[in-house]
Structure 1
């Protein structure tokens, strides 16, 4: 493996890569992408030393990856020497997001729901064991709003959208047990359902009623109600729409009582297949 001595006295492992955080070996483009993903965690920027520790690669390796990202416009360096995501990266990300067919189609529905209920509304999809928020609309008024972000993730078993979408994948207790596997499900609040039997019962109830609920299971003080959204298929939900409400302001029971109105606002995008 080729190694070179750098000006700061450290050894550069060369193009064969170096062990990253967790012992994985970062090579070539993987190394650059790892640095890019790490940068996204620092809205106020991060120094080279900070990134080096987080990535777990030698300083020259991280510095070279940052150079490649800067040349592509995907990273910037400010006057203090701190690195952050570049304007070109943000332009591409937001342009891609705005052009997503599902985002364009669902946005008016989210706006109508947020305006009607005065709470934050999301559109999310299932990605393995997590849900990913593809769109979000905050209420037009109200001093308290949720801190969720587009592209953010939450465990599927703690959220209304996640449990609703899991009903199509996990039909039996054995399937729930296999999905959990040998790992422990994260407990976000005292109300989080972490056991296979409890989660199976909840999924069965969700399947029977046709909507998902999160009764302060993901975040204390926040409850959610979710309904499926059919944006790309007439038979399989592409994702789910959820109203995420502050429990003291909009109790879960109030959302359940408004189901017919919520379904009416979803319109054809929320209609189950005939």
Structure 2
């Protein structure tokens, strides 16, 4: 990881760059310096997890992400980055612009056609990078115009967040061989005053109320602002069963199913004393158990 020591001014654009190949990071940084000398690359990361942490720390305007990185892909890192403003207390910070670094043109074309992200094909050629820089400058200027036009709305809002998440979900599915969806491997959640990365396999269950979803493991309880209807699409259905419109349970954590005096099915969970109600629509899951 390498951070520049250049002092930023409010007019300068700040960027984070993440690629697991050091030579690719150096090449992209060098080319960006040539075509966009006023850009501040405030931090660099070697993988997706580092990228998420660096974005949370520096709150950049722009993020360059290699699509394929170990631990957490660039696409999954972008999905987490798109949620960060909703989890913090900085109402002025918007979802940063995303530029994917990729050797796979099929992903890049879809990203550009959606209009919510851009791409640079490896190796980063100067002429193509200039096109990306102009697009990003234009989008950042439009964002600033929207913020200036509606200051009372908290900076114009994260209007690109929803379409960006939809695109990232599609790209994540494409990254997996055979077209199988790339399910979430980590949950980024609030624990007290801190943000913590929780492995999905450690989660016993998710329960939502109107505003938050509780993430329960054997050792901690955390909160996220992602509704159950989104988690259903992002989690492996072989590992997590929906048993109620507000509840998902880890199949491996199910200790047994009982009935209460009203005949309702209740799921017992290993490592937790809580009983989870099964709604009528999902009772078929436990037939024969």
Same fold (TM over 0.5): no
Scaled by the length of structure 2, what TM-score is found? 0.25
Scaled by the length of structure 1, what TM-score is found? 0.26
Q: Which has the higher contact order (CA 8 A, sep 6+)?
A: 1
Larger Rg: 1
Structure ranking higher in strand proportion: 2
